[in-house]
């Protein structure tokens, strides 16, 4: 290996630097974990260094230094490079060791259990090769003993490597009162040694270890994705105080409304709004969007985003466990508890197959008097492959979804998603952007001006969190109106809001709300919205006029619906609290099959229950508190967008952090592909092992080839499932 290939391991790379602070990437960190403390002490020994932080996950060294010492940034980098150079030999040794271990994979993807499996395989392979080169190694150490076959080097090695399985097989017998797959493996290994075929025993172990290594690799890839999410937060932050001074503090000390300054190369540690500055932000860990985006003053950012360039000051709205990324982590960690029905069935069914192998072994021996054929029945079993058929496929699919900013709360919802044929979409915030804009104002009562109407409307909408209320208030600011003094605001759920101004009630809401209170808007006012959403305003017993608000459909929503149809969705339904005309307008624009209008939250939930009672598998997509009942009643509830409420995220089964509606068909496609892989896995396991059992019983194949066939089925299953790790959710949706 030339020096060019390893030099990147030995030098630091400048990621971001300002006076007094520098962040360096040192890719050799992963090879000197045992020297972290010494490395930090060495850097602290530099007279101008005030603070050092080493992050092995991001492979970075953060150094804060006293800029008053008149040291240049390049000088600091040179000093740090001289310090890390002392560890070059350790880095190089670690690098060489990792290359020996990793084979075609990457060292970072090989966890502790995987390394142990690799060591076992090296020992196993070494003994097999040694006995080929030195036949005397096969001779028993105690040839006169009754247990002579157990005293050969291959036999002793087999027993040593089998020792972990002895415990699990015994525990299985004690806990379940029936033998498990490990029991079959141990029995076949011991029987092989008894028959003097210890090389076959080593082969059985080697093939089992290879299959387990591939399984471990698949699971570890999922854990690595979660690990990346868990590492998004900085330990410290730069807090902007009221006096304008910036001080460093622990992230855990931050509170709501604190202002945090975030520089290039740092990760955002709070959810909040940018109050000053501009930056290019990588939000891939939160939304799955791989292209960095420009974020400016007034825009929202979320913990976990990486500042690629620029500096911003963020007012914290959510900190610690309340941030979006913390909720994501919690959802991912809990996803393993939601097993798919097919996965539960596979686990239960496979447990009953192990005794079948024991019975087959007895029957075959009784019929043929051949110990080899009887052993073949023990070596080949269905249980391992059947269990792995579902577990590895679901694990790989969930990992893939995490990388794309989608949180699936368990394999159960992957299976359910592939079985549904109807999708129900909430209109506001799901089909539309959830950012309504005022389209126009119609005054019916000539005693009031536009400003008078908007002024009264703002009074009733002042404390509401509904998107329509927000756009009315923003329009009021644009007109420069002053909100009048009013009493406490009351809400009529699904209808509107009301308050009192100068002892007269101001009502703001939909047509139903007006009619319920004896107020009859004119036909001209009702028709004024013309497909937009009308916001009717009354004062006392008088109807004043209507505000028209338009919330445009999301980009790609129509294309998203078309993609859903190509992925097995037969019916697209829209649910909304809007009037019929507005619902019809949106349904026509996005090519929906049907719509339900003027619905309260409980009405939406009842619509879902009605569809399910008719035997329809239903997906519900929403984003707000009013969608929560429907999300919880659907076969699969999906919350869409980074602005999804906490309640929506908690009640939904799948959380899409991106605002891109194309992610919905992508997730459906992923579930369909995953279930295809599961079915393929079942076919591989049953097909290969059945052929193996038949050949093992009626032909003269050796235990070695039986072991090869059995473990190859497991390897094929895991390899087939691993494809889901690399399945490109983006490929079929590019413009």
Please give the structure tokens belonging to residue 477.
């600011």
Q: What's the rounded Cα separation, in Å, for the pair 323 and 317?
A: 9
Task: Supply the pLDDT for residue 515.
Answer: 92
> Which residues, 6 or more positions from 421, have their beta carbon under 8 angstroms from its beta carbon?
568, 569, 570, 571, 616, 617
Coil, helix or strand for 413? helix
Q: What is the mean pLDDT of residues 62-90?
A: 84
The more confidently predicted of residues 195 and 507 is 507
Q: What is the mean pLDDT of residues 273-282?
A: 88
Please give the structure tokens belonging to residue 1.
């290996």
Coil, helix or strand for 377? helix
2-6, 316-320, 406-410, 572-576 — most confident range: 572-576
CB atoms within 10 A of CB 610: 12
Q: How far is CA 510 from the centre of its chain?
A: 39
Q: Please say if the pLDDT value at position 347 is more than 70.
A: no
426 catalytically annotated: yes
Q: Largest alpha-carbon pair distance within the chain?
A: 117
pLDDT band per the 50, 70, 90 thresholds, residue 230:
very low
pLDDT band per the 50, 70, 90 thresholds, residue 321:
low
Q: Please say if the pLDDT value at position 80 is more than 80.
A: yes
Q: Please say if the pLDDT value at position 109 is more than 50.
A: no
Task: Supply the pLDDT for residue 293.
Answer: 77
Task: Supply the pLDDT for residue 519.
Answer: 92
Task: Supply the pLDDT for residue 114.
Answer: 66
Backbone angles phi, psi at 488, to 5 degrees: -60, 140
Could you read off the pLDDT of 462-506 as tens digits, one per residue? Answer: 887 777 888 999 999 999 999 999 999 898 877 889 999 999 999
pLDDT band per the 50, 70, 90 thresholds, residue 220:
low
pLDDT band per the 50, 70, 90 thresholds, residue 459:
very high
pLDDT band per the 50, 70, 90 thresholds, residue 352:
low
681, burial (CB in 10 Å: exposed 0-12, middle 13-18, buried 19+): buried
Q: Please provide the average confidence, as pLDDT, over all residues in the chain.
A: 80
Q: Which candidate in 426, 623, 653, 660 is catalytic?
A: 426
Q: What's the rounded Cα separation, in Å, for the pair 696 and 375?
A: 9
pLDDT band per the 50, 70, 90 thresholds, residue 158:
confident
For residues 621 and 648, the answer to whether their CB atoms sit within 8 Å is: no
**What domains, with CATH codes, occur in the chain?**
12-101 (3.30.70.100), 236-330 (2.70.150.10), 396-431+555-668 (3.40.50.1000), 433-552 (3.40.1110.10)
- C-alpha count within 13 angstroms, C-beta hemisphere, residue 592: 25
Could you read off the pLDDT of 620-663 as tens digits, one per residue? Answer: 998 765 677 888 888 899 988 766 556 666 778 888 878 889 99
Reported pTM: 0.63
Backbone angles phi, psi at 267, to 5 degrees: -100, 140
CA distance readout (Å), 139 to 156, 194, 205, 355, 425 = 12, 14, 21, 35, 73
Q: What is the mean pLDDT of residues 575-586?
A: 84
Q: What's the rounded Cα separation, in Å, for the pair 102 and 540?
A: 77
Task: Supply the pLDDT for residue 665.
Answer: 93
Query: Any idea which of 100-109, 327-336, 423-432, 601-610 has the lowest mean pLDDT?
Result: 100-109
**What ranges in 86-150 are assigned the alpha helix state H?**
88-102, 112-133
């Amino acid at each position: 290996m030339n020096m060019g290939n390893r030099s990147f391991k030995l030098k630091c790379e400048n990621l971001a630097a300002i006076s007094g602070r520098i962040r360096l990437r040192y890719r050799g960190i992963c090879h000197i974990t045992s020297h972290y403390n010494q490395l930090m002490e060495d850097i602290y020994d530099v007279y101008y260094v005030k603070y050092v932080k080493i992050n092995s996950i991001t492979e970075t060294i953060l150094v804060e230094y006293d800029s008053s010492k008149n040291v240049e940034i390049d000088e600091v980098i040179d000093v740090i490079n001289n310090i890390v150079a002392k560890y070059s030999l350790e880095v190089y040794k670690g690098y060489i060791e990792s290359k020996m271990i990793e084979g075609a994979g990457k060292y970072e993807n090989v966890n502790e259990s995987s390394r142990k499996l690799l060591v076992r395989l090296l020992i196993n392979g070494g003994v097999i090769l040694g006995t080929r080169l030195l036949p005397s190694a096969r001779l028993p150490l105690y040839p006169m003993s009754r247990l002579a076959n157990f005293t050969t080097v291959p036999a002793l090695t087999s027993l040593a490597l089998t020792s972990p399985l002895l415990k699990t097989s015994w525990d299985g017998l004690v806990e379940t009162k029936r033998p498990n797959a490990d029991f079959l493996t141990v029995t076949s290994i011991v029987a092989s040694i008894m028959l003097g075929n210890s090389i076959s025993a080593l082969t059985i172990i080697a093939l089992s270890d290879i299959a387990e290594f591939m399984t471990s690799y698949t699971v570890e890839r999922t854990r690595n994705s979660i690990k990346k999410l868990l590492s998004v937060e900085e330990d410290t932050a730069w807090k902007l105080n009221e006096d304008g001074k910036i001080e460093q503090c622990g992230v855990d000390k931050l509170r709501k409304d604190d202002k945090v300054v975030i520089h290039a190369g740092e990760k955002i540690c709070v959810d909040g709004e940018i109050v000053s500055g501009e930056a290019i932000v990588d939000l891939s860990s939160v939304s799955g969007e791989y292209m960095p985006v420009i974020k400016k003053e007034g825009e929202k950012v979320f913990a976990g985003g990486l500042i690629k360039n620029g500096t911003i000051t963020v007012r914290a709205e959510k900190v610690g466990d309340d941030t979006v990324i913390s909720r994501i982590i919690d959802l991912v960690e809990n996803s393993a508890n939601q097993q798919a029905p097919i996965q539960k069935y596979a686990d239960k069914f496979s447990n009953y197959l192990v005794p079948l192998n024991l019975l087959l072994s007895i029957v075959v021996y009784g019929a043929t008097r051949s110990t080899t054929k009887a052993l073949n029945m023990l070596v080949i079993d269905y249980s391992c492959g059947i269990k792995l058929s579902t577990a590895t496929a679901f694990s790989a699919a969930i990992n893939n979804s995490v990388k794309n900013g989608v949180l699936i709360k368990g394999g159960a919802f992957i299976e359910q998603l592939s079985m549904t044929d109807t999708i129900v979409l909430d209109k506001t915030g799901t089909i539309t952007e959830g950012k309504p804009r005022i389209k126009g104002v119609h005054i019916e009562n000539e005693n009031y001006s536009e400003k008078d109407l908007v002024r009264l409307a703002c009074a009733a909408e002042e404390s509401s969190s509904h998107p329509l209320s927000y756009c009315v208030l923003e329009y009021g600011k644009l007109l420069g109106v002053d909100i009048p003094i009013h009493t406490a605001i009351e809400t009529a759920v699904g209808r509107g809001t009301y308050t009192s101004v100068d002892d007269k009630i101001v009502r703001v809401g939909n047509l139903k709300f007006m009619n319920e209170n004896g107020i009859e808007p004119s036909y001209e006012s009702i028709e004024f919205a013309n497909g937009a959403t009308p916001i009717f305003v009354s004062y006392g017993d008088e109807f004043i006029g209507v505000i028209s608000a338009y919330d445009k459909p999301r980009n790609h929503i129509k294309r998203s619906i078309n993609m859903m149809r190509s992925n097995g969705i037969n019916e697209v339904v829209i649910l909304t609290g809007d009037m019929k005309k507005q619902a019809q307008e949106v349904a026509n624009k996005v090519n929906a099959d049907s719509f339900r209008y003027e619905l309260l939250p409980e009405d939406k939930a009842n619509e879902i229950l009605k569809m399910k009672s008719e035997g329809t598998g239903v997906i519900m997509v929403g984003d707000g508190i009013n969608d929560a009942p429907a999300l919880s009643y659907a076969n699969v509830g999906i919350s869409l967008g980074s602005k999804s409420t906490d309640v929506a995220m908690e009640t939904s089964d799948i959380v899409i952090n991106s605002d891109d509606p194309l992610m919905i068909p992508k997730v459906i496609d992923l579930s369909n592909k995953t279930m295809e892989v599961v079915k393929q896995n079942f076919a591989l396991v049953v097909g290969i092992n059945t052929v193996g059992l038949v050949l093992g019983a009626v032909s003269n194949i050796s235990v070695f080839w039986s072991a090869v066939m059995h473990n190859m089925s497991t390897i094929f299953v895991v390899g087939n499932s691993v494809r889901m790790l690399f399945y490109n959710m983006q490929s079929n949706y590019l413009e």
